[in-house]
Amino acid sequence: MFKSKNHNTDNNSLEEDETDEAEIEELFQQQIPIGIGEEEHRVFIVHPDVKWGSRKQYLTTAALQMEEAVGLVNTLYNWSVVDKIILSTKTPEKKRIFGKGNFQALTEKIRDTPGVTAVFVNVERLSPSSEKELQEAWGVKVLDRYSLVLHIFRCNARTKEAKLQISLAEIPLLRSRLRNEAVNLDQQGGGSRYIMGSGETLDFPIISVMGYTNCGKTTLIKALTGDAGLQPKDQLFATLDVTVHAGQLPSHMTVLYVDTIGFLSQLPHQLIDSFSATLEDVTHSDLIIHVRDISHPETVNQKVNVLNVLKNLQIPEKLLNSIIEVHNKIDLIEGYEVSDPEVIPISALKQHGLEVLKVKIEEAVVKYTGKQTMTLKVQLNSPQLAWLYKEATVQVVDDVGDDCTANVKVIISQAAYGRYRKLFQVT
C-alpha cells in the first residue's frame, strides 16, 4: 500500500519537489508511534459482544459488526483474517472485557491457531493497560478499531497535508500510552478499564515549539526530553512532520512538546499546506515556546514575522500571552546577555540554560492550564491515592507514620480537585 521509494533522498534541495516528497515519505515512515509497520499480518478477530434483546437480535448485530471488522482488515492489501470469533462479554462498566473462563478458552484458541501475528479486538478503544495485558497473554500485537483505522489512513495518505493530519490524530493515542507508562494503574490497585473513559481529563499539557527554520527547535526538544530519536540537522526544513515528545519538568510533571515545521519568509509553495496544518495544531496547544536563533543576522525581523503570523492565526488571547521567548545559540555570541528578564537565553546544543527554562515552563504551565501543585493528606486505606494517580499527576508520596495517612504532592486541575473534595468529602 505504501508507494515504493524510488526517489533519491540524498539530494536535499527544496527546489526539487520530488526529492522533497521522498524525504517526507521517509520521515513519515520512520515515525509510527502506534507501532504497526508495513509487514504482513495474519489477524485473529475477536468481537466481544454484549447480550441484549432477543438472542436473534444480538446475534444478527454481532454478525454484522464482525463483517465490518473483516472488511477493515481486508482493506490492507497484505493483511488477512485467519480466524474470527464472537464472544459474549461482560458489560462495559466491568473492569475486564472477558470473563475468566472465556478469556482462558480464547487464549488457548489463539495460541493453537498457526501463524497468527495480530489480534484485532473489535472495540472502539482498548485502554493502554488492557492492551498491554492482552498482548502479554497472547504474545502478538493487539489492535483496537482506533489503531487499525489510523493505520489504514496512514497507509492511504498520499499528500503531506493528509500525513500531518494523521500525525495529529495519533496525538491522543500517544498521550494515553504515555500516561499509562508514567502511571501504572494496575499497580496502584486501580484496575484496568476496558474502554478509555474520562481519558480527556488525563491529558498532559501540550507545548508547541515554534520558530524559524534552523533556529534549533528540534535540538531544544531533544535536550529537554532526551529523545534520542530526534535528528537535528543543519539544513532548512529538517523537520517536515509534526512529532510529539514527552519530557519531564522539575517537579516531575510530564508535558508533551510538539516539534513544528519552521518558518521561512519566502515559503516554498509546496510546503504551504503542511505549514498551515502545523499552525492549526498550534492553536490547540496549552503553551508556545518561541525559539529564536539569536546569532542569525535577521533575528529581529524573524521575530516580528513569527509574532505577526501567530496574531493572524486567531490564536486565543491566552495562548498568545503564554509565549515563552527563548534566545538560542548564545554559545555563538561571546558574553551574550538579555535585557528582558522574561526572555530565557540558552544554548540547546551545549545544554546551557535548560534548567532555568524548565522552571519557567513549569510556572507557565501552572499559570495557563489552571493546574496547581498541592500537598494533600491522603488516607492510604481508601481509594484516594488510586484516584489521584488516575486523575492528577502524583509527584511525591511521603509516608507519615502509624495513622495510615500520607502526604501526597500532586499537580491537579481545579476541576479535578473539586471532584476529589466532593468524592472523598475532604474540606
Ligand X SMILES: Nc1nc2c(ncn2[C@@H]2O[C@H](COP(=O)(O)OP(=O)(O)OP(=O)(O)O)[C@@H](O)[C@H]2O)c(=O)[nH]1
Report the interface residues with Mg ion, using CB under 5 A. Answer: 217-218, 238-239
Identify whether the C-beta of residue 240 lies closer than 8 Å to the C-beta of residue 28.
no
Which partner from the list ligand X, Mg ion, none does 86 bind, CB cut-off 5 to 8 Å by kind? Answer: none
How close are the terminal C-alpha atoms of the chain, in Å?
A: 58
Identify whether the C-beta of residue 245 lies closer than 8 Å to the C-beta of residue 257.
yes
What are the two backbone dihedrals, phi and then psi, of residue 239, each rounded to the nearest 5 degrees?
Answer: -100, 115
What whole-number distance in Å separates Cα of residue 132 and Cα of residue 142? Answer: 8
Which partner from the list Mg ion, ligand X, none does 357 bind, CB cut-off 5 to 8 Å by kind? Answer: none
What whole-number distance in Å separates Cα of residue 83 and Cα of residue 324? Answer: 54
Identify whether the C-beta of residue 261 lies closer than 8 Å to the C-beta of residue 218.
no
Q: Which residue is nearest to Mg ion (CB)?
A: 239
- Nearest approach in angstroms of CB 112 to ligand X is 50
Q: Does 328 bind ligand X (CB under 6 A)?
A: yes
Which partner from the list Mg ion, ligand X, none does 237 bind, CB cut-off 5 to 8 Å by kind? Answer: ligand X
Q: Which stretch binds ligand X (CB under 6 A): 102-110, 169-177, 228-236, 361-369?
A: 228-236
Contact residue for ligand X among 147, 165, 219, 225 (CB under 6 A) = 219
Total of chain residues touching ligand X, rule CB under 6 A: 22
Q: Does 225 bind ligand X (CB under 6 A)?
A: no
- Of residues 130 and 218, the one with the C-beta less far from Mg ion: 218
Q: Reduced to 3 states, what is the DSSP secondary structure of residue 27?
A: helix
Which partner from the list Mg ion, ligand X, none does 285 bind, CB cut-off 5 to 8 Å by kind? Answer: none
The amino acid occupying position 282 is V
Show the beta-strand stretches assigned E in 193-315: 206-211, 243-248, 254-259, 287-293
- Of residues 182 and 354, the one with the C-beta less far from ligand X: 354
Q: Does 205 bind ligand X (CB under 6 A)?
A: no
The amino acid occupying position 336 is Y
- Of residues 285 and 328, the one with the C-beta less far from ligand X: 328
- Which of 175, 202, 257, 256 is CA-nearest to residue 412? 202
Which partner from the list Mg ion, ligand X, none does 234 bind, CB cut-off 5 to 8 Å by kind? Answer: ligand X
Q: Does 232 bind ligand X (CB under 6 A)?
A: yes
What whole-number distance in Å separates Cα of residue 349 and Cα of residue 218? Answer: 10
- Of residues 30 and 74, the one with the C-beta less far from ligand X: 30
DSSP labels, 290-358: EEEETTSTTHHHHHHHHHHHHHHTT--HHHHHTPEEEEE-GGGSTT---SSTTSEE-BTTTTBSHHHHH
DSSP labels, 351-419: TBSHHHHHHHHHHHHHHHH-EEEEEEEEETTSTHHHHHHHHSEEEEEEE--TTSEEEEEEEEEHHHHHH
Q: Does 215 bind ligand X (CB under 6 A)?
A: yes
Q: Which residue is nearest to ligand X (CB)?
A: 262
Which partner from the list ligand X, Mg ion, none does 165 bind, CB cut-off 5 to 8 Å by kind? Answer: none
- Which of 308, 365, 363, 352 is CA-nearest to residue 326? 352
Q: Which set of grid coordinates corresponds to residue 282?
A: 498550534
- Nearest approach in angstroms of CB 278 to ligand X is 10
Task: Work out the number of other CB atoms within 10 angstroms of the CB of residue 87.
Answer: 18
Q: Does 302 bind ligand X (CB under 6 A)?
A: no
- Nearest approach in angstroms of CB 311 to ligand X is 21
Q: Does 28 bind ligand X (CB under 6 A)?
A: no
Which partner from the list Mg ion, ligand X, none does 412 bind, CB cut-off 5 to 8 Å by kind? Answer: none
What whole-number distance in Å separates Cα of residue 395 and Cα of residue 411? Answer: 7
Q: Does 208 bind ligand X (CB under 6 A)?
A: no
Which partner from the list Mg ion, ligand X, none does 48 bind, CB cut-off 5 to 8 Å by kind? Answer: none
- Nearest approach in angstroms of CB 291 to Mg ion is 10
- Nearest approach in angstroms of CB 71 to ligand X is 39
- Nearest approach in angstroms of CB 17 to ligand X is 18
Interaction residues for ligand X, span 142-181 (CB under 6 A):
none
- Of residues 268 and 370, the one with the C-beta less far from Mg ion: 268
The amino acid occupying position 419 is R
Identify whether the C-beta of residue 28 lies closer than 8 Å to the C-beta of residue 9.
no
Q: Which stretch binds ligand X (CB under 6 A): 207-215, 316-324, 364-372, 411-419?
A: 207-215
What whole-number distance in Å separates Cα of residue 126 and Cα of residue 133? Answer: 11
Interaction residues for ligand X, span 240-279 (CB under 6 A):
262
Q: Does 384 bind ligand X (CB under 6 A)?
A: no
- Nearest approach in angstroms of CB 295 to ligand X is 7
Residues that bind ligand X (CB under 6 A): 213-219, 232-234, 236-239, 262, 328-329, 331-332, 347-349
